[in-house]
């Protein structure tokens, strides 16, 4: 569970270095909370950096041949910004909150340090009927992280509903963009032969 004891300035600086797109957020308080949320998620896991997390959509599913989880988070964030900027340039009635979009994209997979943590995986795989496998998927755990550092509900919503969970509700405009960017990332990587063939699961599209 969440443990803020390992959150240090060094870890915060590492998160900022791993996710330079944080600088695109105009509201400094929002940017600080995004960094705080990632630092808390990492400090509560076995991982010391986002780059240490397996570069997959779900554990063992859609795994990049090369690169890291930062490439996924940054790629989704860059695509989300491009989608919003390009479309609103053409369609001025499209009112995207760019700060919330960037924060939501950067935080959409913030529950992965929990779901991908090797210690948690061992526990869940050893006794799947005890707490579940996984006990809590990264979208739900991501909500826990986001709200714990005081991020707005709009950002927590992107963590909550970027993936299959979002089929049970109405996605916000910003989360709709994040959702499409997220699925596009894996679809494009697959088409570009960037995924390990054994990790490609036709029907396992939940990420
Ligand atoms: Fe993702």
Read off the pLDDT of residues 155-169 as tens digits, 9 standing for 90 and up: 999 999 999 999 999
The proportion of the chain whose per-residue pLDDT surpasses 90, expressed as a percent, equals 96
* Distance in Å, CA 32 to ligand 1 centroid: 21
Nearest Cα to Cα of residue 53 among 134, 112, 124: 112
Q: pLDDT tens digits, residue range 36-53?
A: 999 999 999 999 999 999
Residues in the chain, total: 207
Show the tokens assigned to 120.
């948690």
* Distance in Å, CA 147 to ligand 1 centroid: 19
Specify the pLDDT at position 201: 74
Q: Which helix (H) or strand (E) holds 58?
A: strand 56-58
* Distance in Å, CA 139 to ligand 1 centroid: 10
Does the pLDDT value for residue 35 go beyond 90? Answer: yes
61-64, Cβ contacts within 8 angstroms, sequence gap of 24 or more: 61/199, 61/201, 61/204, 61/207, 62/186, 62/189, 62/190, 62/195, 62/199, 62/200, 62/201, 62/204, 62/207, 63/195, 63/196, 63/199, 64/189, 64/194, 64/195, 64/196
* Distance in Å, CA 109 to ligand 1 centroid: 5
* Distance in Å, CA 28 to ligand 1 centroid: 24
* Distance in Å, CA 72 to ligand 1 centroid: 7
Tell me the pLDDT band of 195, cut-offs 50, 70 and 90: very high
Specify the pLDDT at position 64: 98
Specify the pLDDT at position 204: 52
Asked if 18 contacts 70 with a C-beta cutoff of 8 angstroms, the reply is: yes
End-to-end distance of the chain based on CA atoms, in angstroms?
Answer: 21
* Distance in Å, CA 62 to ligand 1 centroid: 11
* Distance in Å, CA 50 to ligand 1 centroid: 13
The proportion of the chain whose per-residue pLDDT surpasses 70, expressed as a percent, equals 97
* Distance in Å, CA 110 to ligand 1 centroid: 9
Residue 35 and residue 22: Cα distance in Å, rounded? 8
Does the pLDDT value for residue 18 go beyond 80? Answer: yes
* Distance in Å, CA 6 to ligand 1 centroid: 25
Tell me the pLDDT band of 192, cut-offs 50, 70 and 90: very high
Residues contacting residue 44 through CB under 8 Å, at least 6 positions apart = 1, 2, 3, 4, 6, 113, 114
Specify the pLDDT at position 130: 98
What rounded mean pLDDT belongs to the chain? 96
Q: DSSP 3-state assignment of 2? A: coil
Residue 77 and residue 177: Cα distance in Å, rounded? 10
* Distance in Å, CA 29 to ligand 1 centroid: 24
Show the tokens assigned to 77.
């964030």
Tell me the pLDDT band of 123, cut-offs 50, 70 and 90: very high
Q: pLDDT tens digits, residue range 70-120?
A: 999 999 999 999 999 999 999 999 999 999 999 999 999 999 999 999 999
Residue 18 and residue 12: Cα distance in Å, rounded? 10
Asked if 36 contacts 11 with a C-beta cutoff of 8 angstroms, the reply is: no
Specify the pLDDT at position 114: 98
Angle ∠(158,180,194) on CA atoms, nearest 5 = 110
* Distance in Å, CA 116 to ligand 1 centroid: 13
């Amino acid at each position: 569970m969440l443990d803020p004891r390992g959150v240090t300035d060094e870890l915060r600086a590492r998160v900022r270095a791993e996710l330079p797109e944080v600088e695109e957020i105009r509201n400094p308080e929002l940017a600080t909370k995004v960094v705080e949320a990632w630092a808390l998620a990492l400090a509560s896991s076995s991982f010391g950096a986002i780059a240490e997390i397996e570069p997959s959509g779900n554990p063992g599913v859609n795994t990049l041949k090369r690169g890291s989880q930062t490439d996924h988070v940054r790629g989704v964030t860059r695509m989300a910004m491009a989608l919003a900027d390009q479309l609103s340039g053409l369609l001025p009635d499209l009112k995207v909150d760019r700060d919330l979009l960037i924060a939501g994209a950067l935080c959409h997979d913030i529950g992965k340090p929990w779901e991908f943590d090797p210690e948690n995986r061992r526990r869940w795989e050893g006794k799947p009927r005890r707490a579940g496998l996984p006990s809590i998927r990264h979208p739900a755990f991501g909500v826990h992280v986001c709200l714990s550092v005081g991020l707005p509900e709009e950002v927590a919503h992107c963590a909550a509903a970027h993936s299959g969970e979002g089929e049970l509700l109405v996605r916000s405009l910003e989360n709709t963009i994040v959702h499409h960017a997220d699925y596009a990332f894996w679809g494009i990587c697959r088409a570009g032969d960037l995924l390990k063939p054994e990790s490609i699961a036709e029907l396992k599209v939940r990420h």
